Structure 1
Amino acid sequence: MNTNNKSDSIGNDLNCKKIESIYKKIEDLGGLDNTIKEVKSILGFKKIIAFSGGGQGIKVNFDDKEIAEKIEEYSTLAKKKIVSDIVSRLRDYDIAILTGGTKWDIPKIATEIARGNNIPTIGVYPRRGEKNSVGKDLLNIEVVVDPIYGESHFGDESHLFAKLADGMFVLGGGAGTLIEFAHVMKINEALKKYNGNIKKIVPISGIPGVSDAVHYIPGNDDIKRLTFPDFIINSGKEAFDWMRKELDLDDIMKEYRYIF
């Protein structure tokens, strides 16, 4: 009698229940390091992979509302397909998924698909975005970032998002994604200088926005070569394969331990 499927099912059920039972909301960033370490030890993830982007859509004007809606629907389906192709492969590794934590576009899509694949989730957003969070039903760690100065605005959280991520997939994106991309590039300058682990970015072409423009953004050419591929990637599988190699993900492949 083959029991492999049974043990896989039991293991996945236990893992799913553990993930669903862990939730931390952090509003005092002074305790963030300890909380991340605590949740890492409980859920066993070793790297954090971020998804950034969305918000641009396909900029075509149509008088026919039905055609316009179909174009928007196609854009959403394309994003879901790409994210799903990446996340379904990431589920075999000890990682957590980081997003902007809000109920829009790529953050929502990536968080939902990650949870559907039993992958721990982290959401980081500014105080202004708190009311639009996807919430504790989908997030294991929810980080609310207060402004250092003045009122809360989107972008207040970008420095933390960039520092938490070991790797980042970019699909489309506007100003917020551009900030995160640039911040990772700047961090990598210091990481290279002091022999740190370079953060990796995979821009996925075909979704209008930052991901189609990163190859043309001014910056240190050495850091560009270290940070993202020098060729166009336009599928989830290609994006995953590059990230897997560059972050040595095979070193953190899951070792399932089941309790009977």
Structure 2
Amino acid sequence: TVTPIPSNTSNITRTLTFTPVTMGPDQLNGDFLINNASMDINIINYTIPFNNTEIWELINQSAISHPFHIHDVQFYILSRNGVAAPINEQGRKDVVLVKPQETVRFIAKFEDFYNDTLPYMYHCHLLPHEDGGMMGQFIVENPVITGYSLSDNDFTIHPNPTDGAIHITSKKDFPIEKIELFNALGQLLQTNRLAYIQDYKLFTNNFQSGVFIIKIYSGKNIITKNIIVH
């Protein structure tokens, strides 16, 4: 068999598409994107539950090959352009070459390590592409951690009311993982996934005046606050 992990045990399929920043002949000089985005150190691209089994689908829409590397786990290649992996690719891997206009699918189980604070990386293993932003990051979270009830003393949110931006600052023990913003009806307006930072500036220039609800996540810890926009 190609893999000892049956594909029907996958909890989710994630698609990562590689594209050049510049189309045409100049694309061979880089840079390249993953899912139309360059690496942002303040963004966690994926939050993966510990023990999750996942299929990652790599679609290369560029004119150059990309050796894709993932940290934390090793994986088994399922197919190239729908054809089962050849015998030389049937072992455990942590790098796979994705050729131009090729789709590679692999399966992995995130069962070895978890850390709700420190992210793992995935990226093209060509250094110029990696340095040019062809990277992303994910965390593997432990779903059994019990949450701590945050208090107003753990974060400062100012100015409130505001007419332009809200500054959110956390104590060092509670770095910010994610911020969600809701309107007064409880409808989710935006989600900002962050890389466990201490300070964040939420711009409100495009919001209508009114009361909004902000939910701040730090690991398994959550606090909810009302903000007023003039």
**Superposition TM-score, scaled by structure 2 size:** 0.25
**Higher helix proportion (structure 1 or 2):** 1
Higher relative contact order (CA 8 A, sep 6+): 1
**Superposition TM-score, scaled by structure 1 size:** 0.23
Structure showing greater Rg: 2
**Higher strand proportion (structure 1 or 2):** 2
